[in-house]
Amino acid sequence: MDNEQQVAGADAAHRSTDRLIRIIGRFVGVGYGAYLLLLIPDIARTGSLAPGWWTPTAVIVVFGTGFAFAASTFHPSVGFIRVAGSIAALAFPIMALLWWVAWDGTTFDRAGTFLAAFPGLAALAAATVWQPIPAFAHMTTSVVIVQVTNQAVREPFPRSNVVADIVFAMMFCTVFVAATLAAVRTGRILDATISEAHNDAARAAATSAREVERERFDALIHDEVMSSLLAVARHGRTPSLARQARSALAHLDDLTTGTVSDSFSADEALAQLRSAATTVDESIEFTVHVDELEQPEEYPADVVRSVAAALAEALRNSRIHAQGSKRSVTAELASSMMLVTVQDDGIGFDRRSVPPHRLGVAVSIEGRMRQLVGGSADIESSAAGTTVRLGWKR
């Protein structure tokens, strides 16, 4: 659920298409304002020739919907903007067709109707909020209507070739409509790419989290559950084994319920380390060195638990394999570091001889410490004994 919420939040922050629609809508609104100023003389001229209701109605409807489209880009809902853009796009061809309903046969001069000056602007509104095919159909329809109207109102004045006028107007408008469609399509591709990237990141994070949890569970099973069962088989039921079993059950409960502390004080951290060591070996020699000049602060709980679990695993390996008679643990604490050293005087071992399926060193010690930011594990072994150093730096 958290990953889905993160992806949703990322998508909300990267709506490139929405931003482009708003920008283009405001540009179209500026275009409507510029054409209105430029066409005031033509509007006044044709207003006296056309029926009285059409010219003021066309000015209000066509330019009003264009301005409304620009104003709608400040609304938070993109759906609202698309509706306003569709209305602005449809207003132009509708008013151009209504000219034929209102026209009484009066002819103008060669300039024609004022709507013929900007059919491409309404097509830009369509291209901003519609798909390519409807947008080009709108542009073609608008251009044909206004050019045919121009041919009609110029009679009996000399007229140009209507087909050439339509082709020229369509070529001119196509450049801007195609550019608008390309920009909006680029925004959609960018949105899809960002969304897919965030989905991939969420899936990768979930996979990584499952792997980390699986490694943590594997280490816990190996460190405590399997070691407890092995101890039962070798030594029978003892008070030390009972404490180890109770510790394993408690850690399993923590793993499933998630009721864990976020940090430990220095004393609590030492208690965790000492408990981990004595659970494995009650007679362990445990030495503590605390920097008197630099009093330790609180330590992250995952650091303390990981170091304690790795410490316990190192002692178990020593008891099972080292055949040594003396083991010791030294814990050094400072405000920005923790170093735990496990030593024995056993027979040692060769890392190259450890079978791949043995997880004690690779997973429970080195792997566990490697997962910590600032964590490290160093193992030295010879015929004179083995030393395991578990370190962490803040």
Mean pLDDT of 42-66: 85
The reported pLDDT for the residue numbered 140 is 94
Mean pLDDT of 75-88: 93
The reported pLDDT for the residue numbered 2 is 43
The reported pLDDT for the residue numbered 352 is 67
Mean pLDDT of 39-68: 86
- Pairwise CA distance, residues 265 & 267, whole Å: 5
CA angle, 305 then 310 then 316, to 5°: 125
Mean pLDDT of 164-182: 91
> What percent of the chain stands above pLDDT 70?
73
Mean pLDDT of 232-257: 64
Per-residue confidence band for 212, with pLDDT thresholds at 50, 70 and 90: low
Q: Which of 175-184, 312-321, 347-356 has the highest mean pLDDT?
A: 175-184
Nearest alpha-carbon partner for 369 in 358, 378, 356? 378
Q: Could you read off the pLDDT of 269-316 as tens digits, one per residue?
A: 887 788 788 877 777 888 888 776 566 668 888 888 888 888 888 888
Does the pLDDT value for residue 264 go beyond 80?
A: no
243 in Cβ contact with 277 (< 8 Å):
no
Establish how many alpha carbons lie within 13 A of residue 68's alpha carbon, considering only the half-sphere containing its beta carbon. Answer: 16
pLDDT, mean over the chain? 80
Among 278-282, 336-340, 382-386, the least confident range = 278-282
The residues, any chain, with a CB within 8 Å of residue 326's CB and separated by 6 or more, are 285, 344, 345
Mean pLDDT of 26-30: 94
* Token digits of residue 179: 């550019």
The reported pLDDT for the residue numbered 4 is 43
Per-residue confidence band for 337, with pLDDT thresholds at 50, 70 and 90: confident
Q: Is 263 helix (H, G, I), strand (E, B) or coil?
A: strand
Per-residue confidence band for 205, with pLDDT thresholds at 50, 70 and 90: low
75 in Cβ contact with 38 (< 8 Å):
no
174 in Cβ contact with 139 (< 8 Å):
yes
The reported pLDDT for the residue numbered 21 is 92
Q: Quote the distance between the C-alpha of residue 14 and its chain's center.
A: 9
At residue 328, φ and ψ (nearest 5 deg) are -150, 155
Per-residue confidence band for 354, with pLDDT thresholds at 50, 70 and 90: low
User: Is the link from the previous residue into 156 a cis peptide, with omega within 30 of 0?
Assistant: yes
Mean pLDDT of 209-213: 61
The reported pLDDT for the residue numbered 326 is 84
Per-residue confidence band for 137, with pLDDT thresholds at 50, 70 and 90: very high
107 in Cβ contact with 46 (< 8 Å):
no
Does the pLDDT value for residue 392 go beyond 70?
A: yes
**Residue 379 bridge partners (DSSP):** 388
The reported pLDDT for the residue numbered 239 is 66
The reported pLDDT for the residue numbered 217 is 67
